[in-house]
Structure 1
């Protein structure tokens, strides 16, 4: 039996949604989603680029309100659509006022929607963009731990700002390497799933000073709203669950993850 759904908690301290896809939301008008997001004291939202055809849309969304920000980058699923022209566009806008990172980039060997060698090349090229523009990185890694580590090692000295391995579902080896190198790990609704004890184990081993909160909306809706389209305003449930898993006071988790988000994406704030 599923858990009884309840009202979304509202915290006194603001929180930051570090990873969602506003242009993929379908179940309600965007205006309603944004209003509800603000109502639960989410102070900032970062909407993530994934493909050549949504780079400009992310920039448009980031201009809708002062508290909406975006990224520029190509997801490994779309690696075969990467080109010199796409890279030029990412470089041109990586340092825009409302663009806070290069991403979502990385490797995905689970779906293999793009050839693996192409994924690796495109990952390297976009990491170089981040180096050249002094931007943090939003990384996707699925079933590609060894290659993710190997490629990140190539950029240890030149990538001065780290970023996050988002929606972390990888093994402890990648977690240990990333944490040792100063990366954050992003956790979302997966942490609330019954069969995700492996992810909760990673949450337990991750210092609270290196955890970011995200929804990855419209995907991965947390308990108690599984079955509905995810949305940024469900982020408080993830904060609560992280606090439970780590056996920390909820207020401490909220305050620390907020500070982590600022330091990663908004260092001048």
Structure 2
């Protein structure tokens, strides 16, 4: 007989989903997903742009509810689709009321879906947009620690607001650099995976006031729901795991990461 999965915990204090892809969800109607998300006391959701094809869709999704927000940016996988026209679209909407960051941008040398030099050029161009529009940045970095550090170093003085290196799976060198420079690190369901001790080591290292919670749904579903499509309403399991790994009261993790999310994406709230 199979074990019954735990019910999703509901916390007394709200939490914020800082990284998901609502337009990629397929398992259930979006309205149902959003309803379940609110039921577990998730106060805000940020859905992330990744390609020229979904920039407009993310803007549409950011209008479906007062508590849903979006970003504008091109993922390194789609760097070869970047153009002056795409950049103009990102710039035109970077200041929209419901757009809270430039992203998801960065480098991915694991899949190498785009030429590495093109990735670097596109990363720089989008960091410049963040500088020019005073927006925080959502960064993807995989197997590219040295180049990520080198490129971010070029923008240390001009990038007034930092942001997050999301779904952090990189090494301690990038983690130390990012933390020293005032970036947050985003952690998701990977923290619950049996073989992810390297990620939990970074969780232990990172100060609580520089940690953000995310799901990256529909990917990376946390234990105990691995095998099912991920969704924002599984975020409480990530908070629980971070509290366990850092040996901190769960309430401390929830309230501090909530503040971190506001400071990063919603200053003044």
Q: Is the 8 A contact 1:74 1:104 kept in 2?
A: yes
**Pairing 1:203–2:220 present:** no
Partner of 1:125: 125
Partner of 1:80: 80
Alignment of 1:92-241 (within 5 A): 92-241=92-241
Q: Is the 8 A contact 1:4 1:224 kept in 2?
A: no
Q: How far off is 1:5 after superposition? A: 1.2
Partner of 2:10: 10
Alignment of 1:42-53 (within 5 A): 42-53=42-53
Q: Is the 8 A contact 1:213 1:257 kept in 2?
A: yes
Task: Provide, for residues 156-188 of structure 1, a one-character-per-residue CA deviation record: whole Å limited to 9, x for no partner.
Answer: 000000000000000000000000000000000
Q: Residue 11 of structure 1 aligns to a residue in which SS?
A: coil
Task: Provide, for residues 101-143 of structure 1, a one-character-per-residue CA deviation record: whole Å limited to 9, x for no partner.
Answer: 0000000000000000000000000000000000000000000
What is the CA–CA distance in structure 1 between the aligned matches of 2:21 and 2:140, rounded to whole Å?
Answer: 14
Q: Structure 2: any 5+ residue segments left out of the alignment?
A: none
Q: Structure 1: any 5+ residue segments left out of the alignment?
A: none
What is the CA–CA distance in structure 1 between the aligned matches of 2:115 and 2:130, rounded to whole Å?
Answer: 23
What is the CA–CA distance in structure 1 between the aligned matches of 2:198 and 2:131, rounded to whole Å?
Answer: 32
Q: Is the 8 A contact 1:3 1:223 kept in 2?
A: no
What is the CA–CA distance in structure 2 between the aligned matches of 1:80 and 1:31, rounded to whole Å?
Answer: 34
Q: Residue 53 of structure 1 aligns to a residue in which SS?
A: coil
What TM-score comes out, normalization by structure 2 length?
0.99
Computed over aligned residues only, the root mean square deviation of the Cα atoms, in angstroms, reads 1.0
What is the CA–CA distance in structure 2 between the aligned matches of 1:65 and 1:131, rounded to whole Å?
Answer: 28
What is the CA–CA distance in structure 2 between the aligned matches of 1:88 and 1:131, rounded to whole Å?
Answer: 15
Number of residues paired by the alignment? 269
Partner of 1:249: 249
Deviating above 3 A after TM superposition, structure 1's stretches of 4 or more consecutive aligned residues are 1-4
Task: Provide, for residues 15-62 of structure 1, a one-character-per-residue CA deviation record: whole Å limited to 9, x for no partner.
Answer: 000000000000000000000000000000000000001000000000
Task: Provide, for residues 180-232 of structure 1, a one-character-per-residue CA deviation record: whole Å limited to 9, x for no partner.
Answer: 00000000000000000000000000000000000000000000000000000
What is the CA–CA distance in structure 1 between the aligned matches of 2:166 and 2:227, rounded to whole Å?
Answer: 22
Q: How far off is 1:2 after superposition? A: 8.7
What TM-score comes out, normalization by structure 1 length?
0.99
What is the CA–CA distance in structure 2 between the aligned matches of 1:107 and 1:268, rounded to whole Å?
Answer: 31
| C-alpha spacing 1:2/1:116, structure 2 compared with 1 (3 Å) | farther
What is the CA–CA distance in structure 1 between the aligned matches of 2:2 and 2:188, rounded to whole Å?
Answer: 19
